Chains A and B, each alone.
Chain A
Amino acid sequence: GQNIDQPTEMTATEGAIVQINCTYQTSGFNGLFWYQQHAGEAPTFLSYNVLDGLEEKGRFSSFLSRSKGYSYLLLKELQMKDSASYLCAGTNDYKLSFGAGTTVTVRA
């Protein structure tokens, strides 16, 4: 199985940067996903890391260190619409195991 830990809540100001950390303990780990979920909606894909290092995609970047069992999601130039839950998920060959999610609140 997989044990995924991430902070419960984070608050930041519009235009700022927020980093959401995720640690994992896994068996058969293949890669690390980040999903965004707005209240009452389905999770939507943000990023996937299988190799160590930083993957940048617009305002969002994700980092993975396999040796440390650690990932983070970096949200830059925060906008009000970024207020959501951010889910870290480890994957084996076919199954995603999710953390509890980090609720990010962006304030004006």
Chain B
Amino acid sequence: DTGVSQDPRHKITKRGQNVTFRCDPISEHNRLYWYRQTLGQGPEFLTYFQNEAQLEKSRLLSDRFSAERPKGSFSTLEIQRTEQGDSAMYLCASSLTGATNEKLFFGSGTQLSVL
């Protein structure tokens, strides 16, 4: 499978716990994005990397959220001290700079449930 991979697919945690998600983008893609989606809403931008550099973070991203892409390949998104409001689908996407129409390819997401 050469698409965007996310792990785990589902995560159930108790409030206050830390969670970490992983995303493996399409191998030649230099841009990587994290989005969050709740039921009945479109994906909401969280943050974006070009290679290993994190170039933008949404104001919606509190200081409990941190993302890394240490070698410009896979990325991790960590949420510390989870709250019930963090329950959502976390989507990762990747794209290639300069490609025609530079569309985003999405992974299947990690569904987070905070109890």
Q: Which residues of A contact B (CB under 8 A)?
A: 4, 31, 33, 41-45, 48, 50, 87, 89, 91, 94-101
Contact = CB atoms under 8 A, between A and B. Distances in A.
Interface residues of B, number: 24
B101 interface: yes
Given A31-B101, A48-B101, A100-B40, A42 B106 contact: yes
A98 B56 CA distance: 17
Contacts of A97: 45
A42 B23 CA distance: 14
B107 interface: yes
Chain A interface SS verdict (over half): strand
B109 interface: yes
B103 interface: yes
6 contacts: A42-B106, A42-B108, A48-B101, A94-B31, A96-B45, A101-B40
A50 B108 contact: no
